[in-house]
A = this chain, B = another copy of it.
Amino acid sequence: MTGPTPTTGADPGPDPPAFQLLNEIGIIAQLSGTRAERLLAPDLTMAQFVVLNHFHRLGGERSLVRLATAMQVTKAAMTNTIARLHAKGWVSVRPDPNDGRGKLVALLPPGEAARHRAIFLLMADLGGLGEAVDAESAATLLALLRRIRVWLDGTR
């Protein structure tokens, strides 16, 4: 078990399409995520940016547990993330009037502005992606991806 066995032979056929798809998606997310993380640092981490995007998309107020569930992180992690966003004045936090245990978090205008600046920065870097995928393909792609996300979200 010590020799340099290259292991290129014995092909058991291609991987299932669903796996290829998610694998490719994982690689893209890794590549673009690292890029974005570096671009946005040190003002904004990805964890924080994702929360801003969630509120932008859906609006309203959310408890920590709901946010944590949506983002697929633990309550403890969300406590940390929200504390940092709150310290910057980007979200408001108030006790839930209907539940003495809970807190309600909402996006504030400075948070919305920070999100907008972040997207501007990102697009300056990623704008050239239009060369790789034309607008029509992008629309097709987006529609299919949404179906996948909805399926994953609905079966977890």
Interface contact A17-B139, CB-CB below 8 Å: yes
Specify which chain B residues have a CB less than 8 angstroms from the CB of A137 in the assembled complex: 144
A112-156 CB contact bits vs B (8 Å, 1 = yes)?
A: 100010010011001111111101011111101111111111011
A53 CB–B CB distance under 8 Å? yes
Interface contact B22-A28, CB-CB below 8 Å: yes
Complex: how many Å from CA A26 to CA B155? Answer: 18
A102 CB–B CB distance under 8 Å? no
Interface contact B149-A24, CB-CB below 8 Å: yes
Specify which chain B residues have a CB less than 8 angstroms from the CB of A15 in the assembled complex: 119
Cβ 8 A contact of A94, one of B4, B119, B138: B4
A48 CB–B CB distance under 8 Å? no
A25 CB–B CB distance under 8 Å? yes
Interface contact B133-A148, CB-CB below 8 Å: yes
Complex: how many Å from CA A27 to CA B17? Answer: 19
Interface contact A72-B34, CB-CB below 8 Å: yes
> Interface residues, chain A, CB within 8 Å of chain B?
1-8, 10, 12, 15-36, 50, 53, 55, 59-61, 71-72, 89, 92, 94, 104, 106-109, 111-112, 116, 119, 122-123, 126-133, 135, 137-142, 144-153, 155-156
